[in-house]
Chains A and B, each alone.
Chain A
């Protein structure tokens, strides 16, 4: 089914093969256009019994439960759960800060790998995949489609996108919440360098629109450790003013600021029921995705 023969730097076939063993499922019912492997809010024709319902004229007589009629002399229609496909909306932060990497790997590279792997896995199980590259606005977007050709387009977008510009993630998420009409799994891949209270509003908006929101929070180890020996002039990768600071002097306050940010973010994701995953750029993205997929598989069944 995977017809894209062009080698992609961010795709590792071995990793994809291992991850394919675990299905990508939504945590809440999806409204798809075709039959799939995801729970739907509607009754359908799957093998999973849902409930009995009184017969009303117009119902298909083939769905009448004759055994129940024999026992109770009443007409009941037997209903089954419907399985459908889902829409996977990948929101990729392409602001300038995503180009940071203290080691060999930058955050945008890790984001490409995660987004590429998720797109491939979703496409493999027949789900529609769309992608939105955002910075101070929506830089580039592909609506969700199920076709393999569309997957190739999504890979092209991932290949071509360049991190630049400031971050306006909360505003962009609001915009996406408004424009994505049907339920979808919205996967945000970003360093989330914006105030947590602003993110809280965006997450709530997405949740209100019945989207299943998952966040991959990308952080570089150096951004947490802040280990510099010499006075340093910090140039803003998103085009802001530079800051001159002595790390020895400012390190403890930097750590306090980071800790306060993470505490606030924790509160936000808990309140917004966001599937949050922190990703350090020096750790294996395969493990991160495995944790993500397994966690979702365990929660399957909720409708």
Chain B
């Protein structure tokens, strides 16, 4: 409970007024000569239980009445039953809005979405609290935006729903930066969120720093979380896993892989999937029995007259969360599969040229360029998807070229040279060669993702059948994708650069059986090529968020082709839709984690704010009640009840008259 006029609580010592009056009254006694002492002595000997209880009850009720008046004058505010943090009118209030798609879930009982409800409740609360300054943080990148008053938050264009995940730690950091530089007085930070893990990222190391930073602020900062953690019942999310244009003779068709996901098991459902491509709508029913159903390579024939480039949308009927009921996709002719091979060892070069030059799809041409380390400048970098390097790590001008290639999304796989040097790339350098007495096979490897993941049919790559006779050590920070017995990495990614991969042996027969057991090397290289091609294509799928926003900002032009038109231009990359970015088509959709991220437990959230003034109020979408209400009426009613109770207890006259001694003969007879 907080108070709009907390200084009135300074009058709380007046609660003791009835007690003081009682004590003063006790001291103002009179002295009388009294004859009937035997009755007084008898009265004192009688039980005083009820009398004393009544006496103290009267005193208590009088004190309660005074306290209720003082509290009522202090204009108390109700903040829900859980929020008992004290405090008065804040100097500034910062509202952090989680605008992620999951916040657009609505309650089946009616009412608005979680976002609408949370925003309205926050606005109503702040209208009551009337802070001197009011700010909105709708996006970590934009930072706090000052608004004229709490009511303006509801009208602010940037406070609407978005397709990107909310970066709660980033938003808190932005709020901290603002408070540190601007706010001098007591501040309140209101967080409106559904506590999804992908928005809060409780494992993020930034939380410790944020917590410490707020704790060190000179002014008092209170955190109020309006939590709408209840998951949307029966919600199903649709997502396009892949789109591939296939040319069969003169016919052209689009192969679309669609997945349906729900967060909890439910009854078997048959959902109609609607595909809209170029104004043409097709539908297909998909049965969802568990938590996930995948429709693989659903073929949608395309009009032969239409171009090879286009976009579309897949949707399911409306459910609890409308934000995940559609997904945009774009397609184009596949970009060329061009690989660049730099190898000292001709045998190795030959093997790499072979695995890179044989495309898995016969309709897509594959090209391999082999250059010497010195001739990198002349390579066709703009069309290259992958760089296969078996030589001393690049330095100087070569390193700059490779860095630029990696920075724009290219993939690099390094193989060890015969004589490793001290050069470093992406924080990793080669160590010395180790010859194994007996050929060894990888002991473990990551099968869930990255270059060595299981195949689409679920089968594992046959890494266990490899024979590694010689391997080269890796120094520097890296993440092992496959490890040899003893823990040494066989295939690893550089921790500093996502597109850089190291293979600790070569395909040469003296080093390993990568060439003879070619499946592993082929899959590794082709997957690297596939990754590298993504950025080369003129049609790109992007997750809404900072990366998409950066992409949009870097594009020469950014215009919406499909999708909701409520998004302001300042939020490019944060809203779903299909956009034309220069010559490219870009489909922006919600991140995959939005569909599956669990709710962070209350205890975990409490732990994130440990040591800070934090309170949480749980609500649900469509909740019509305000979080903060003035409750002085309740105190006035309490005062009235206390006065009535005191009056009833203090009404001894009638009871005493009834209990007055009748005597005998009766008084009336005597009269």
Contacts and interface: CB of A to CB of B under 8 A. Distances in A.
B250 interface: no
A243 B40 contact: yes
Q: Which one of A226, A228, A253, A261 has the greatest number of beta carbons of chain B within 10 Å?
A: A253
A193 B43 CA distance: 15
Interface stretch (A34-42, A168-176, A202-210, A229-237): A229-237
A219 B667 CA distance: 12
Interface in A247-277: 248-262, 265-266, 276-277
A240 interface: yes
A283 B661 contact: no
Contact of B55 (A230, A249, A280): A249
Interface string A209-226: 000000000011001111
B362 interface: no
A238 interface: yes
Interface string B637-662: 00000000000000010011001111
B165 to A, nearest CB: 69
A3 B637 CA distance: 79
A254 B51 CA distance: 12
Contacts of B26: 231, 246
A230 B28 contact: yes
Contacts of B51: 249-250, 252-253
A7 to B, nearest CB: 29
User: What class of interface size applies to chain A in its complex with B?
Assistant: 35 or more
A83 interface: no
A225 B659 CA distance: 10
Interface in B20-77: 25-26, 28-44, 46, 48, 51-52, 55
Contacts of A97: 35-37
B35 A193 contact: yes
A50 to B, nearest CB: 35
B112 to A, nearest CB: 59
B661 A224 contact: yes
A33 to B, nearest CB: 35
B659 A256 contact: yes
Given A231-B25, A246-B26, A251-B652, A257 B43 contact: yes
Interface residues of B, number: 37
B34 A237 contact: yes
Given A97-B36, A237-B35, A224 B29 contact: no
A189 to B, nearest CB: 15
A286 to B, nearest CB: 13
A251 B29 contact: no
Contact of A244 (B29, B37, B38, B671): B29
Contacts of A236: 34, 37
A127 interface: no
Nearest to A98: B35
Contact of B39 (A100, A230, A257): A257
Contact of A278 (B30, B38, B664): B664
Q: Which of B32, B34, B35, B42 has the most CB of A within 10 A?
A: B35
A191 interface: yes
A245 interface: yes
Contacts of A100: 33-36
Given A235-B31, A250-B40, A266 B25 contact: no
Contacts of A258: 36, 39, 661
A260 B661 CA distance: 8
A1 to B, nearest CB: 33
B31 A251 contact: no
Interface string B271-310: 0000000000000000000000000000000000000000
B37 A234 contact: yes
B663 interface: yes
A96 B570 CA distance: 102
A266 B30 contact: no
A246 B43 CA distance: 12
A98 B25 CA distance: 31
Nearest to A254: B43
Given A252-B51, A252-B655, A253-B48, A225 B32 contact: no
A18 B329 CA distance: 126
Nearest to B664: A266
B34 A255 contact: no
Nearest to B38: A193
A245 B41 CA distance: 10
B661 A259 contact: yes
B10 interface: no
Contacts of B41: 243
Contacts of A253: 42-44, 46, 48, 51
A239 B104 CA distance: 89
B42 to A, nearest CB: 4
A233 B659 CA distance: 23
B566 interface: no
A236 to B, nearest CB: 5
A96 B659 CA distance: 28
B665 interface: yes
B670 interface: yes
B280 to A, nearest CB: 93
Contacts of A252: 51, 652, 655-656, 659
A234 B34 contact: yes
B445 to A, nearest CB: 88
Contacts of B29: 230-233, 244
Nearest to A236: B37
B664 A234 contact: no
B39 A240 contact: no
Contacts of B28: 230-231
Contact of A254 (B30, B39, B664, B670): B39
Contacts of A243: 34, 37, 40-41, 44
Nearest to A193: B38
Contacts of B35: 96-100, 107, 191, 193, 220, 223, 237-238
Contacts of A250: 40, 43-44, 51
Nearest to A245: B40
Nearest to A107: B35
B671 A233 contact: no
Interface string A173-208: 000000000000000000101110000000000000
B389 to A, nearest CB: 100
B25 A193 contact: no
Interface in A274-293: 276-278, 280, 283
Contacts of B662: 259, 262
Contacts of B48: 249, 253
Contact of B30 (A220, A224, A232, A249): A232
Given A252-B51, A253-B51, A234 B32 contact: yes
Contacts of A99: 33, 35
B620 to A, nearest CB: 54
A240 B37 contact: yes
A256 to B, nearest CB: 6
Contacts of A237: 33-35, 37
Contacts of B42: 253-254, 257, 260-261
A237 B40 CA distance: 13
B59 to A, nearest CB: 12
A270 B362 CA distance: 131
A235 B663 contact: no
A256 B36 contact: no
A99 B33 CA distance: 10
Given A228-B32, A256-B43, A261-B42, 7 more contacts: A100-B34, A225-B660, A228-B30, A232-B29, A237-B37, A258-B39, A278-B664
The 5 closest A-B pairs by CB, nearest first: A97-B35, A257-B42, A100-B35, A253-B43, A234-B34
18 contacts: A100-B33, A230-B29, A231-B26, A236-B37, A243-B37, A243-B40, A248-B55, A248-B652, A250-B44, A250-B51, A253-B42, A253-B46, A253-B51, A254-B42, A255-B656, A261-B38, A265-B664, A266-B664
Interface of A: 96-100, 107, 191, 193-195, 219-220, 223-226, 228, 230-238, 240, 243-246, 248-262, 265-266, 276-278, 280, 283
